[in-house]
Structures are given as C-alpha cells and as structure tokens.
C-alpha cells in the first residue's frame, strides 16, 4: 500500500512534468540569470569573480529553488487533489516526502547538473568544484524539505510569493552557512568534511521530521 | 488587383500558406545546405591558416554568420510582431513566433563556438566582455519569448503577448549593449581588449559570404517549416486540415 | 598547440544544432497531422449520433 501509493504519485508527477518539460528548465535558467547579474554587478573581472564564485553559485541555486517552491503543492491545492491526500489511507507525511523528492529531482537536480557550467562562467577555481557539488548535493534536499514545510503553511493563501520567501529564508541561513562555508574552508586549505557532515546530519533529521511538520501544516491550511 | 498584392493577401489564407510553405521550405533548406557546404569546404580546406591564430581561425566561419543571424532573426521577429500587433495579421503572428526558436539556435551556436574559440585563443572559456554578455542576454530574450508563447493557452493572445515582448526586447537590446560597454569601460583593469577584431585577408572572405548567405537561406527554410507547424496547430479541427491529414489511399 | 580538436568541436556544435533545427518542425508537423487524422476518424465514427447532445 505504502509502496504502491508512492509509485503512483511518482509516476503522476513525472508525467505531469513531462507534459510541461519546458518548465523544468526554468530554475536552471533563473540560476544562470542570477549568475549573470552578479557577474555584471561585480564588474566581470575573472580574479574578482573567482573569489566569490562559490558563494554566488550557492545563492543562485538557493534562490532558484526558492522560486520553484511555489509549485510544490499549488497545482494539487488548486484542483482539489490535496484534499484527496488528506483522505488517503497512507500517511500524509509519506505523500509529502514522495512529492518533495520528486520536486527536488525535477527542480534541484537540473541545477546541480548546470552547476559546473555556471562555475565556469564565474571562473571558480577547479579544485573547489567537487566540494561545491557535494555541499549542494547535501544542501539542496535540505532546502527542499524545509521549503516544503513553509510551502505547506502557505498553501491556502493567494499571492503568497514574498511571504514564502520571508518565511523560508531565515530557515535557509544555517544551510547556506554550512554549504557555502564548506567550500570557503576548502578554498583556504581547511578540511570541509566537518561542515559537510553537519549538512548530512541535518538532512537525515529533516527527512524524518520535515514531512511530519509539513503534513501538520497542510491539515491546518486546509481546515 | 496587382498580382503581387493579391499573392500577399492569399498568403494570409491558412490553406494557401500551408501549400506555399510545404513547397518552398525544402527548396530553401537545400539551397542553404548547398551554399553552406561550399562555404564550409572553403573554410576548412581552401583558406590558409591564419599566421597568428592558426587553424582555430576556421571557427570564425561558423561563429560570425551565426552571430549576425542571431541578431537579424531578432530584428525580423520584432518586425513581424509589430505588423501583427498593428494590423492584426495572423500570418505575421505565426512568422514572428517561428523566428524565435531558429534565432535562439543561432544564438546558442554563437555562444558555444565563441567559447570554444576563446579557450585556445585567449585561455578562457568565458569572459564578461560586452559583446559576449549582450549575446547571452539576447539568448535570454529569445527564451523569454518562446517561454511566454508556450505559457499562454490561447494562441492568438499568446503570440500578441510574446510579440510585444519581442518588440520591447529589440528596443532595449541596444541600450543593454551600450550599458554593458560603458560598465566595462569603467573597469580599466583590462587595457588590452581581449576580443579585438582581427583583420581578414581578402582571400579569406568568399567562404564567409557563402556561410552568411547559406545561413540566411537555411533560416528561411526553417522559418517556413516552423510556421507551417504552427499554422496546422492553430487550424486543427478545420476541414482542410482533416483532408490534408487523410492517409493517401 | 593543436587546434584541431577545438575546430572539430565547434563544427560539431554547429551540425548538431542545425540538425535539431531541421528535425524539430518536422516532428511537430507530423504530430499535428496525426492529431488531425485521429480527430477525423473519431468524428467519422460518431456520425450515428449516439450522443445527440455532444458537440462533436
């Protein structure tokens, strides 16, 4: 029952995303634009950009994910499927976890794939790239899970765009600090493993707790 | 009525345009291919290697025509869009929207070949130089038009909205280029311009002109093919499309 | 320095993008004609007017 529900939800999400596959590119394009704007604002010189490249890339991925957060539950909230979730015989938290994983796979994974190209645009030193990718691989699921809680809290509201950002960004701060910080540490020759392990621990915790919190939030929002 | 004027009006009829495009698109494609083949042959085998840049100079024969095409397509797209918005000519809506993917493709070629050329030449895959930056923003403008056109369900409203975006884009593009150039000039760290124009020997020009003409012909073919597809999509459900789609017995 | 790989790469990018540019509209046209054919056969089958209130 649990497994078939997950499979059904995953297939449905993939099918929906395939029908609008152009939309799946939008977070990556947004991240690219953020990179362009940062590069222009900072003056475009390779040496200057290389110093801040990792931080800018982290911000680009984070902000792109933030914008994509609105689509996590909105489609289902609009057509009533979310209420069907409440009535389903499987735990709501499980459905939330499956949905969040699919959302991460279709919004954050393209970003991760695009990161090496974006890194090249910002002249990121090549030795920092593996640490950057590792921190993003651990950090983006965390961002998605925390974001899911916030998205669930605001699912009933109209025009909640800025509100989602205001609620989510403070929660994102520790992830950003450890994520971008791990790359900065690596750049200075220190061991980034500590920060990455903390991200990993946070991810494990969030995998268990965030869906529960989001489920509770959905129940509140739909009451 | 003058025959040319009548032909012009006839093109506005969807079935007539379908026949016109189905006939002329392959001709344009083939003509473009032949001219490009001549140009590419010249670029690869006839033109001597540049004494400064060696063989990588040959990339210019793809890079420059694509760059010109990317800008020409955008200007044409804006022109079609303006006609469509002012005179509400459906065919111009279709043609405007058909320009976008082709133009985006050429912009992508420009950026990619420029990057590939830049690596052996100047040691970097990318530089935030005004011309490259403007070309990148041009790509975003194209993608914006395509995205907006696909996001709205009603085809006519979609093309009008995306067309307006194209017009705004073409107006802002010189401003963007000027602003990035000015900004770049403030950063006097690079007193030597990395991407200065190279002076070409006259013997090196014929393949370049061939590539320019070839890409233009190809563009016409692609424009007609895509316009045909969009035309069919808009007219789907009409009898003439059903008759056209009938399997030939 | 061998520029050959770079030249090949650039020309390959050109070829691939142009190929996509050629194929994409052909696929669209084929898809549209197929949809029109299916629609026509569906309309043809329903001429017995089983559902008098339908719009087809």
| Closest by Cβ to C17, choosing from B63, B109, B120 | B109
Is C36–B120 a contact, with Cβ atoms under 8 angstroms apart? no
CB spacing of C37 vs B247 below 8 angstroms: yes
Q: At A190, is the pLDDT very low, low, confident or very high (cuts 50, 70, 90)? A: confident
Q: Give the C-alpha separation, A54 to A60, whole Å.
A: 10
Q: pTM score, two decimals? A: 0.82
Would the CB atoms of A36 and B124 count as touching at under 8 Å?
no
Tell me what pLDDT residue B91 has: 95
Average pLDDT over residues A25-46: 90
What tokens were used for A4? Answer: 């078939």
Give the residue with greater pLDDT, C18 vs A158: C18
Q: How far is CA A215 from the centre of its chain?
A: 18
pLDDT at C14: 96
Q: Looking at residue A70, what is its pLDDT? A: 87
- Dump pLDDT digits (tens) for A49-101: 898 999 999 999 999 999 999 889 988 888 888 999 999 999 999 999 999 99
Confidence at residue B93, expressed as pLDDT on a 0 to 100 scale = 95
pLDDT at C48: 56
pLDDT of residue B228: 96
Q: What is the residue whose two structure tokens read 């590792």?
A: A134
Residues B25-188+206-232, CATH architecture:
Up-down Bundle (1.20)
C10 with B62: Cβ contact below 8 A? yes
Confidence of residue A220 (pLDDT cuts 50, 70, 90): confident
Tell me how crowded residue B72 is: count the other CB atoms within 10 A of its CB: 17
Q: Tell me whether C19 touches chain B (CB under 8 Å).
A: no
Q: What is the mean pLDDT of residues C10-20?
A: 95
Q: How far apart are CA A70 and CA A22, in angstroms?
A: 17
State mean pLDDT over A22-29. 86
What are the residue boundaries of the structural domains of chain B, listed by start? 25-188+206-232
CA B82 to CA B99: how far, in whole Å?
A: 13
List the Cα angle B127/B133/B134 in 5-degree steps: 150
Reduced to 3 states (helix: H, G, I; strand: E, B; else coil), residue A190 is coil
- Whether A40 contacts chain B with CB within 8 A: yes
pLDDT for position B40:
92
* Mean pLDDT score, A137-158: 90
State pLDDT tens for residues A95-125.
999 999 999 999 999 999 999 999 999 999 9
pLDDT of residue B194: 47
C28 falls in which pLDDT band (50, 70, 90)? very high
Q: What is the pLDDT of residue A114?
A: 93
Say whether residue C35 is in contact with chain B using an 8 A CB cutoff.
yes
pLDDT number for residue B191: 40
Q: Quote the pLDDT of residue B189.
A: 41
- The Cα–Cα gap between A213 and B67 comes to 52
The shortest CB-CB distance from C36 to any of B116, B229, B242 is to B242
Chunked in runs of 10, what are the mean pLDDT values of chain B (249 residues)? 90 94 96 95 82 79 94 96 93 96 97 91 84 89 90 88 90 81 63 51 85 96 97 91 78
Q: How high is the pLDDT of residue B180?
A: 78
pLDDT at C1: 57
DSSP state for residue C25 in the 8-state scheme: H
Residues of C in contact with B237 (CB under 8 A): 36, 39
Select from B102, B90, B80, B91 the least CA-distant residue to B29: B102
Q: What is the pLDDT of residue C56?
A: 58
What is the rounded distance in angstroms from the CA atom of residue B249 to the CA atom of residue A173? 67
What average pLDDT is seen over chain C? Answer: 84
Are C4 and B55 a contacting pair at CB < 8 A? yes
The pLDDT value given to residue C43: 77
Out of A26, A40, A49, closest to residue B133 by CB: A40
HEC string of B113-134 equals HHHHHHHHHHCCCCCCCHHHHH
Cα separation, C25 vs B231, in Å, equals 12
Backbone φ, ψ for residue B238 (5° rounding): -80, 160
Distance CA B99, CA B107 (A): 12
Give the pLDDT score at B199: 61
Whether residue C47 is predicted with pLDDT greater than 90 in this model: the reply is no
């Amino acid at each position: 029952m649990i497994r078939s529900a997950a499979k059904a939800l995953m297939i449905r999400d993939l099918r929906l995303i395939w029908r609008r596959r152009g939309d799946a590119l939008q977070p990556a394009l947004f991240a690219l634009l953020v990179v362009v704007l940062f590069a222009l604002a900072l003056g475009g010189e390779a040496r200057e950009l290389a110093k801040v490249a990792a931080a800018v890339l982290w911000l680009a991925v984070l902000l792109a994910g933030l914008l994509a957060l609105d689509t996590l539950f909105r489609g289902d909230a609009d057509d009533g499927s979310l209420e069907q979730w409440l009535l389903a015989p499987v735990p709501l938290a499980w459905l939330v976890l499956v949905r969040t994983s699919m959302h991460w796979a279709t919004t954050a994974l393209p970003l991760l794939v695009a990161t090496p190209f974006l890194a090249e645009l910002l002249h990121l030193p090549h030795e920092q790239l593996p640490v950057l990718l590792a921190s993003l691989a651990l950090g983006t699921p965390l961002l998605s899970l925390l974001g899911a809680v916030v998205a669930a809290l605001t699912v009933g509201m109209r025009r909640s765009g800025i509100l989602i950002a205001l609620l989510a960004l403070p929660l994102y701060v520790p992830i950003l600090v450890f994520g971008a910080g791990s790359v900065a540490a690596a750049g200075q020759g220190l061991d980034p493993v500590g920060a990455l392990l903390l991200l990993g621990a946070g991810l494990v915790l969030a995998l268990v707790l965030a869906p529960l919190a989001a489920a509770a939030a959905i129940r509140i929002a739909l009451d | 009525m003058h025959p040319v004027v009548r032909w012009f009006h006839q093109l506005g009829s969807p079935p007539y345009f379908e026949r016109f495009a189905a006939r002329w698109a392959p001709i344009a494609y083939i003509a473009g291919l032949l001219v490009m083949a001549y140009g590419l042959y010249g670029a690869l085998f006839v033109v001597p290697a540049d004494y400064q840049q060696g063989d990588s100079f040959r990339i210019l024969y793809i890079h420059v025509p694509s760059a010109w095409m990317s800008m020409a397509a955008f200007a044409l797209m804006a022109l079609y869009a303006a006609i469509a918005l002012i005179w509400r000519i459906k065919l111009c809506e279709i043609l405007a929207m058909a320009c976008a993917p082709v133009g985006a493709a050429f912009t992508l070629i420009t950026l990619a070949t420029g990057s590939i050329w830049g690596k052996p030449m100047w040691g970097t895959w990318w530089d935030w130089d005004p011309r490259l930056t403007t070309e990148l923003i041009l790509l975003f403008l194209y993608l914006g038009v395509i995205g907006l056109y696909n996001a709205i369900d009603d085809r006519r409203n979609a093309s009008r909205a995306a067309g307006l975006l194209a017009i705004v884009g073409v107006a802002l593009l010189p401003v963007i280029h000027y602003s990035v150039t000015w900004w770049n000039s403030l950063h006097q760290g690079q007193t030597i311009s990395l991407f200065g124009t190279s002076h070409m020997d006259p013997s090196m020009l014929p393949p370049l002109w061939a590539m320019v003409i070839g890409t233009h012909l190809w563009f016409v073919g692609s424009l007609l093919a895509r316009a045909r597809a969009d035309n069919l999509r808009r007219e789907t459900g009409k009898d003439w499309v059903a008759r056209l789609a009938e399997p030939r017995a | 320095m061998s520029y050959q790989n770079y030249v090949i790469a650039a020309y390959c990018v050109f070829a691939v993008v142009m190929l996509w540019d050629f194929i994409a509209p052909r696929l669209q046209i084929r898809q549209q004609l197929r949809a029109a054919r299916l629609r026509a056969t569906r309309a043809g089958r329903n001429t017995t007017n089983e559902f008098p209130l339908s719009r087809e």
